[in-house]
Structure 1
Amino acid sequence: MAARLRRLPTRLLSLAATRSDRRVHEELTRADARKWHYAALATLAEFGPASQAELSSRTGIYRSDLVAVINELAERGLVERAPNPADRRQNIITLTARGHERLGTLEELLAGLEDELLAPLSTTEREQLTRLLAKLVYG
């Protein structure tokens, strides 16, 4: 690879993201899950029950796509969907006990994958990389 390509941060970031995304997709597929499953479960675990609109906003999953994600999770008993008592037009999504267990399994899988992908980095370098990426993403 040309030296100027090896020094170009945007190219390196893109290559690392592509590799990471591919491996995450492969491992989650093996576990019969998708990234959006994890995002929805993790968000419900952290913030508690939410309307579909709130869950869409908090996860970044488009509302139209979120309906399919919630359907898949509900079919597996990982979330429950119930009408909002304050607004019957709205559904409230709640994480089930089985959903908490599934989230734990997916977190273990992703932690192992992070260890694989970040193996060349020390603990300090991993923490620094996380801080720098968060700064790039969130400002």
Structure 2
Amino acid sequence: MTSAEAADQSHDGTPRTPDRLRRRASRLLSQLTARSDRLINEGLARADARKWHYAVLAALEEDGPGSQAALSGRTGIYCSDMVGVLNELVERGLVERAPDPADRRRNVITISASGRRHLLRLDQVLDDLHDVLLAPLSPEERDQFVGLLIRLLDHAGPLPA
């Protein structure tokens, strides 16, 4: 190995990331997001679920029944994608879709008892996955990290439609 090749590697032999890149919060967040997405998607798949399933079930449990459009707004799932997510959840008996008595042109979505039980299982799966993702941080640091992320997202506001 030449001295130039050695300079391009860290002490463990992996390619060295230039300090200029390692100090860019946007790049670090992007890399962490990619790793987090992979970990969460694979973990939820093992539990026969997807992130969107969890988002819809959590929104229904926390905020109560809602229309497809309302759920789209609560979860950030595009309306066009929401139909497919709800079809999957209805088919599995995790949510119920019924005509809105006040406006028969729209449906109201409600979480079922089976959906509540499934959500509790998914909460545990995600808790375990977050333990893996955040393993280097103490419980206090995890709380602080989540708080800082919330603050950044609240400051940034919603993504444009």
Bin the TM-score by the shorter chain: over 0.9
Of 67, 70, 76, 1:51 maps to: 67
Q: Could you tell me how far apart the structure 2 residues matched to 1:133 and 1:80 are?
A: 33
Of 116, 130, 135, 2:146 maps to: 130
The alignment covers a number of residue pairs equal to 139
Question: Are residue 16 (structure 1) and residue 21 (structure 2) matched?
Answer: no
1:122 CA drift (Å): 0.7
Of 8, 24, 47, 1:31 maps to: 47
Q: SS of the residue aligned with 1:91?
A: strand
Q: 1:67 maps to which residue? A: 83
Q: 1:79 maps to which residue? A: 95
Q: 1:96 maps to which residue? A: 112
Q: 2:127 maps to which residue? A: 111
Aligned residue identity for 2:36: S
Unaligned 5+ segments in structure 1 are none
Q: 2:14 maps to which residue? A: none
Runs in 1 of length 4+ with deviation above 6 angstroms? none
Q: Could you tell me how far apart the structure 2 residues matched to 1:102 and 1:59 are?
A: 18
Q: Deviations over 1:74-129 (max 9, x none)?
A: 00000000000000001000000000000001010000000011010011111111
Q: SS of the residue aligned with 2:33?
A: helix
Q: Could you tell me how far apart the structure 2 residues matched to 1:23 and 1:63 are?
A: 26
Give me the TM-score of the superposition, normalised by structure 2: 0.84
Q: Name the structure with the higher helix share.
A: 1
Give me the TM-score of the superposition, normalised by structure 1: 0.97
1:137 CA drift (Å): 0.9
Q: Could you tell me how far apart the structure 1 residues matched to 2:50 and 2:75 are?
A: 13
> Which structure is larger by alpha-carbon Rg, 1 or 2?
2
Q: SS of the residue aligned with 1:120?
A: coil
